[in-house]
Structures are given as structure tokens and as C-alpha cells.
């Protein structure tokens, strides 16, 4: 059945029960709250905002938005883009698009104006809903997106070029629009990108989204008694697909806007959280805060917290060893996945396999995996090859890109581009990536984008960007810069020049050196990794001891 049926079912069975809570502990952002009908907490010393929603209200809001889209000419299969920060209305808007029979297109809130324009064009979006944080970026491309209507604004102080979400939905029916949707209908487009830096539009059906619901619930034994803490951005498949376990089981979830260790621990304590998904940097920060005395675990009620799991980047075994020291009763899981495989879970460690920390794990629920050579033949156990996966969550295709689709989908198998090795017990370890994507703090950084930006500096002759090991972020963006003859430049000069880049793309290490290229003109990045990675890895290992 389509994923929208889970929401309708929950509204029927658990309509008056709380399903979502938004916690906003950042006072500078708290006044951006949109939905006034929800509870506003003002009687605590920090002035936090706390918003709640029941399954019935969730479903009604989704129906209102679906009916609005239909009223404004959005037809089954049309694409509707979402550009919002995490907030309580994010998921009802997403499901409203699906209930209209349309295809949801979440956009990365870190995208520049040009990237937004590119992704709207690539996905053939017919409509866009955006929040107050993006007014300036939409203004910059407004003349280029005249065909995208309605252009809907969710927030206060509506810009003149957009229509009001609150006003438009107020008079729309809260009844299900009754659009016939099947398992095989298109449901969502997510964006990924290779080392070229150009996003690919990944198309998923309702069936693949449903598979993520089931996989997540099965892996972590979720029940209606659980309460899931979601911190990562909802535009990402990881955060949303993990929340799908809550949708499947009809259980509660909390959206936390903020990543400070005290905020995370307070929310877990006060909201009685049972499951938390963290990125490596956030887990590191919590441990550092405990060890420095910044937080005292005795100040929080954490006995109900049963599971911590991590995904989006390699997990240092030393981190989990430290974690178990302070949280000895926690279950732990690592999740591996791609946007092309409906997010996390095609490979997972399993809560019973903590002795195998360091591996990404074994095939996920209803998934198959292989390690193959360049011809697609399985390699002997213990040898390195490419990880390929097969299961119900594999994407339908790269939208409007048959050549790219053909390159990664072969006989139902998804070729991940990640190189791995399988041990004698069937556990998979990643050893390298075919692609040059840098994963820093759970975010993908595409070197070509940063290299192209750096080459815009008047004194830079050439630039190469690689990832080097880092204790906290997994990898850091490292720029090797070759200056023009006679030109002098400092690291501080380069850092100032890079301030216009999104923070996660800015080089954290800058090296002035020649950029090696092979006879065909390609940058020889393996040489650079060998030259600079060894000393960086030794330093990181020493720090972990």
C-alpha cells in the first residue's frame, strides 16, 4: 500500500495521541515559529518553545495542503519542492504533497540560489513551498522560476512575490482528497551527487518508501511505546527514513532544533526519549561535554533511553568504546545506506553485534549484498571489491538521466561506488570509496565545487580538494593550492576568500603545494592522499589512544 495509508491509519486509530513535538531551544530562532495553535511554553527560565501535534491534526494538515495543491492545478505526478528548515509543519507538508498524488522534492537548506535553481529545473518542479530563511535566495532567482506556481511561503512577514501558506490552507477541506495512489506510483525525488558536483535526481516510489518504514522498525524493534529523537535535517533521506519507523509503529517523535550536548540530553530527559540517531560529531560532543564536566549525567533522567544509533559516515570503534563507558546499558547500531537505496538500512550492524564495531554490518531486513569485481563477479571472501545491494528500497531511476541510471542499476542491483571487504562471518567493512565525495560531519562535500570556487581567486593557479581523516568529523575538507608564479598568499587570505561558501564546504586545512595531474589532465588525488593523509592519520590515531 502507499505510504500515505500509514498516516491515515494512525489518524483513525490514534487520532488524539501526540505524534510529533518540536523543541526549539535557540532563542534567536524561536520567534520563527509558524503554527500559533500549538502549545507555547513560556513559564520556564530559558524561554523554550515547545509545539505538539496529534495524529489527527497531522492528517488534517496534510489533507488541507493536498486539497490546496489540487485546487491550484497540481496533478498526479507533478513535482512540488520543499525548502524548509526542520519544523513541525515539514512532515504534514511532505505528506500533503503525496496525498495529492504529486511527487515531493525536498531541497537541501544549504543550497545556494544557483543550486536551488538547478534542482528545481532538474526535477521539473511545478510548485515550491519555502520558509523565511530562504527569502533572499529565492529573490535572486525569482525571474528564472516564473513557471513555478504556486510559490508558497510558510512563515511570518511574507514576501510580496509569494502566497501565504496559512491563508491558502485555512479554507481548504481537511478531508482526504481521495486521489488513487498505488505502490508503484512515484512518490519523492531526493538529490545526490557524485564527484562532479552536479546533483542527480533520485526517484523513489511509494513502495520503496514503505520498505524504509518496515526496515527501520524491524532493525530497532520499534513499538508504539518508543519516542524517537530526530535532530538531522528532514530534507535528507537518513533523518526522514529513520522517522518512518515511528510512522509505521504509530509512535511518537521529537524534532530538536539544536545540537548542543545539554540540549540533546535535556530533551531526552524531559521528553522521555527512547531512541536517538546521532551523527559522529554530535556523539563526540556529548562525550567531550561529559568528560570536561560541562554536563553532569546525574542532572538528567536517561534510564528510558535504550538505543543510540549512528549513520552517514564511518564510526571510529574508539568512539563506541567511550560511549559504552558512560552508557553501558545502551543498545547500539550502525546504519549504512544511500539516497539511492531509500536512505539507511540496506546494510546495518545490528544491535546484537556490537562486538563487530568498525564494520558497517550485514544485509538489512529484506536486502541482499555482494562484494564484486569490475565485471560484477563476486570476489573471494577477504578481498576488496565494490559493494552492491539489492532490495525493495532501490530507487526507480535517476530522473531523466537514463545513462547515469544504467551505470549503477544492473539486473536489479545497485552499484554503490563504495569499496568494501567481507570477513569470515559475513560482516562488511568499507575500505575506500570509488567516488571522491568527502563525508564531513555527515554532509557530502563535492570536491569539484570547492575546486572551481577556489580557482576564482586571482592568485590561484590550480587547486585540488581531498578529504583527510579527522577524529570528530570523520573527514575534513583539505585544499591543496598551487599559486601563480610570484603571487604570495596566506592561509588566512584563503579562509576569508572562502567565507561565501557554505560552512561545511570551507576547507579546514589549507596546503600550498603543486597540484599533480596525469597526462590526460586529471588531478592525481591518490598521490595527494598518500602524501598528506599518512601524517594526518597518524595524528588522529595518536589522539584516539
Ordered mean pLDDT values, 10 residues apiece, the chain (545 residues): 97 98 68 39 47 97 98 98 96 98 95 93 98 96 95 94 96 97 98 65 97 95 96 89 96 94 95 93 89 95 96 74 93 92 90 90 96 94 92 96 96 91 92 73 80 87 89 90 90 94 92 78 78 61 44
pLDDT given at position 420:
85
pLDDT given at position 156:
87
Residue 372, φ and ψ in degrees, nearest 5: -125, 160
Sequence-separated contacts (24+) of 352-359 with Cβ below 8 Å: 353/427, 354/320, 354/324, 356/425, 356/427, 357/315, 357/317, 357/320, 357/321, 357/332, 358/315, 358/317, 358/429, 359/334, 359/423, 359/427, 359/428, 359/429
Under 8 Å CB-to-CB from 353, ≥6 apart: which residues? 359, 361, 362, 427
Length of the chain, in residues: 545
Same fold, 4-258 and 307-433: no
Q: Which position has the grid cell 564527484?
A: 195
Architecture label for domain 4-258? 3-Layer(aba) Sandwich (3.40)
Q: Give the predicted TM-score (pTM) of the model.
A: 0.82
pLDDT given at position 97:
98
Q: Could you tell me the residue ranges of all domains in the chain?
A: 4-258, 307-433, 438-544
Architecture label for domain 307-433? Roll (2.30)
> Three cell numbers at 85?
528548515
Beta-sheet strand order (sheet of 509-512): 460-470, 474-483, 509-512
Q: Rg (Cα) of the chain, in Å, rounded?
A: 23
The continuous run of DSSP H or E covering 262 comes out as: helix 261-271
| 438-544: in CATH 3.40.50.1820 | no
Amino acid at each position: 500500500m502507499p505510504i500515505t495509508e500509514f498516516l491515515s491509519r494512525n489518524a483513525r486509530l490514534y487520532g488524539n495521541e501526540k505524534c510529533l513535538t518540536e523543541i526549539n531551544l535557540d532563542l534567536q530562532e524561536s520567534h520563527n515559529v509558524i503554527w500559533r495553535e500549538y502549545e507555547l511554553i513560556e513559564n520556564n527560565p530559558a524561554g523554550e518553545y515547545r509545539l505538539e501535534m496529534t495524529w489527527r491534526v497531522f492528517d488534517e494538515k496534510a489533507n488541507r495542503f493536498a486539497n490546496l495543491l489540487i485546487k491550484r492545478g497540481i496533478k498526479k505526478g507533478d513535482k512540488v519542492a520543499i525548502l524548509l528548515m526542520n519544523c513541525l509543519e515539514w512532515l504534514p507538508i511532505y505528506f500533503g504533497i503525496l496525498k495529492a498524488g504529486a511527487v515531493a522534492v525536498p531541497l537541501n537548506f544549504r543550497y545556494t540560489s544557483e543550486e536551488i535553481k538547478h534542482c528545481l529545473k532538474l526535477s521539473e518542479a511545478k510548485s515550491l513551498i519555502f520558509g523565511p530563511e530562504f527569502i533572499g535566495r529565492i529573490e535572486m532567482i525569482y525571474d528564472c522560476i516564473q513557471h513555478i506556481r504556486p510559490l508558497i511561503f510558510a512563515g511570518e512577514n511574507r514576501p510580496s512575490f509569494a502566497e501565504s501558506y496559512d491563508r491558502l490552507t485555512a479554507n481548504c477541506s481537511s478531508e482526504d482528497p481521495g486521489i488513487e495512489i498505488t505502490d508503484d506510483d512515484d512518490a519523492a525525488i531526493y538529490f545526490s551527487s557524485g564527484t562532479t558536483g552536479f546533483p542527480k535526481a533520485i526517484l523513489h516510489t511509494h513502495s520503496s518508501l514503505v520498505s524504509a518504514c518496515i526496515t527501520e522498525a524491524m532493525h530497532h524493534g520499534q513499538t508504539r511505546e518508543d519516542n524517537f529523537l530526530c535532530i538531522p535535517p528532514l530534507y535528507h533521506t537518513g533523518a526522514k527514513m529513520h522517522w518512518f519507523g515511528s510512522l509505521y509503529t504509530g509512535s511518537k517523535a521529537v524534532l530538536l532544533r539544536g545540537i548542543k550536548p545539554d540540549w540533546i540530553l535535556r530533551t531526552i530527559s524531559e521528553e522521555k526519549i527512547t531512541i536517538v540517531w546521532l551523527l559522529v560529531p554530535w556523539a563526540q560532543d556529548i562525550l567531550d561535554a561529559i568528560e570536561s564536566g560541562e554536563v553532569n549525567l546525574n542532572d538528567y533522567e536517561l534510564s528510558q533511553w535504550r538505543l543510540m544509533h549512528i549513520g552517514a559516515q564511518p564510526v571510529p570503534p574508539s568512539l563506541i568504546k567511550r560511549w559504552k563507558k558512560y552508557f553501558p546499558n545502551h543498545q547500539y547500531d550502525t546504519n549504512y545506506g544511500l539516497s539511492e537505496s531509500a536512505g539507511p538500512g540496506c546494510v546495518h550492524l545490528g544491535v546484537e553485534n556490537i562486538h563487530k564495531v568498525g564494520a558497517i554490518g550485514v544485509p538489512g531486513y529484506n536486502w541482499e549484498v555482494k562484494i564484486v569485481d569490475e565485471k560484477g563477479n563476486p570476489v573471494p571472501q577477504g578481498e576488496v571489491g565494490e559493494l552492491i545491494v539489492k532490495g525493495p528500497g532501490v530507487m526507480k531511476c535517476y530522473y531523466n538521466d537514463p545513462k547515469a541510471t544504467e551505470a549503477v542499476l544492473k539486473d536489479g542491483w545497485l552499484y554503490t561506488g563504495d569499496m568494501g571487504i567481507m570477513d569470515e562471518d559475513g560482516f562488511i567493512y568499507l575500505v575506500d570509496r570509488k567516488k571522491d565525495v568527502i563525508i564531513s560531519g555527515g554532509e557530502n562535500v563535492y570536491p569539484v565545487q570547492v575546486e572551481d570556487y577556489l580557482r576564482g581567486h586571482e592568485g590561484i593557479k590550480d587547486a585540488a580538494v581531498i578529504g583527510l581523516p579527522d577524529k570528530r568529523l570523520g573527514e575534513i575538507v583539505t585544499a591543496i593550492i598551487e599559486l601563480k608564479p610570484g603571487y604570495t598568499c596566506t592561509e588566512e587570505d584563503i579562509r576569508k576568500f572562502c567565507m561565501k561558501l557554505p560552512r561545511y564546504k570551507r576547507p579546514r586545512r589549507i596546503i600550498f603545494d603543486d597540484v599533480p595531474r596525469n597526462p590526460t589532465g586529471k588531478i592525481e588525488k591518490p598521490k595527494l592522499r598518500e602524501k598528506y593523509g599518512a601524517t594526518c592519520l597518524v595524528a588522529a590515531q595518536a589522539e584516539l589512544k
